[in-house]
Structure 1
């Protein structure tokens, strides 16, 4: 199996696991309760494409740094991602569920363009500094496969958005979002320790 394919598969699996229980999924689900699904999907997909490019660009810049500094930077990014995921996974009050309930109370018909632009804005803002964006940048820096990692990240984000749009609220009753967040958080913590250990031993 080629390095590019491995990088793509790894990124796709990791980002999908992170985003299924995260605000990306919930925000897309909430938007779908208010706007036409096709408009929401178009808007969020465009937002994911831009954010994936930004993450890949940042990760590519890191590859020009000395290997020890890259390992430290990757370790810090995964550490931040782990902290964010574990904080959400162990939080007592599931505010996302409340937000979903509130948004589902009503909805005003709007044009396709306006719905798509609104969806783009919401998801573009939500993804800044998100765990998946940090993971994408870190994987680019570690694998030196920016195209494969970028495509894997984008494909995963679009897949998660598609699940939210197609299945809507029903998917919430079949998943345990907080358990997924905890597992992903511990995985991120493991990546962080490996990267930091590499910096220390290297």
Structure 2
């Protein structure tokens, strides 16, 4: 139990203000919370599983510089697209009513697509990150299963705070401003990754 609580505390604190927490907030400004949370948790589970399995010895073998470069560029591109597209989306009542009439199948596909996009972004951004390396180090010297549970819960809790922030912003701002704010969050996260990791 001590291993679980230690992993939870260390990973939760390390993730506060991290790029994937910012990414979760950015996604939550643009999409419904449910698919963002599902994708975020799925991505975190994958990363925590990888971390707990590979252990401390393989930590230095990860190409963290290349991964950080790819993640930073990906976040900047997503953010720039969000900012650029803010003025190009039709949010008129007529457009909204046509969106409301879409089929349930399209709605399910869109939900799965958002969840998959969020999960992919989380996995790419977290590979080689400090929380992954902390989890690897903890798993190498403690009960790997307890570390995996604690790390997954800790990183997910931090991500949920990001989603909550994104939803608050989404309720208070108009859709064009939301896209710009979400895009800006991604750009800042991408620059942070590039500066810190390269």
Cα offset for 1:27? 0.7
Q: Which of 26, 30, 43 in structure 2 is aligned with 1:30?
A: 26
Question: What do you get for the CA RMSD once the two structures are aligned?
Answer: 3.4
1:124-165: per-residue Cα shift (whole Å, max 9, x none)?
A: 11111011000000001122x001100011001111111111
1:73-113: per-residue Cα shift (whole Å, max 9, x none)?
A: 88x79xx9xxx9xxxxxxxxxx99xx599499477987111
Cα offset for 1:21? 1.1
Is 1:119 the counterpart of 2:152? The answer is no
Contact 2:4–2:146, Cα closer than 8 Å, also in 1: yes
Cα offset for 1:168? 2.3
Question: Could you tell me which residue of structure 2 aligns to residue 55 of structure 1?
Answer: 51
Q: Select the structure with the greater relative contact order (CA < 8 A; seq sep ≥ 6).
A: 2
Q: Hey, which bits of structure 1, 4+ residues long, moved more than 6 A?
A: 106-110
Contact 1:30–1:104, Cα closer than 8 Å, also in 2: no
Query: How many positions carry a matched residue from both structures?
Result: 140
Structure 2: 5+ residue stretches without partners: 69-74, 91-98, 100-106, 170-198
Contact 2:11–2:151, Cα closer than 8 Å, also in 1: yes
Using the size of structure 2 for normalisation, the TM-score is 0.60
Greater fraction of residues in helix: 2
| Aligned positions of 1:187-198 closer than 5 A | none
Using the size of structure 1 for normalisation, the TM-score is 0.59
Q: 1: distance between equivalents of 2:120 and 2:54?
A: 21
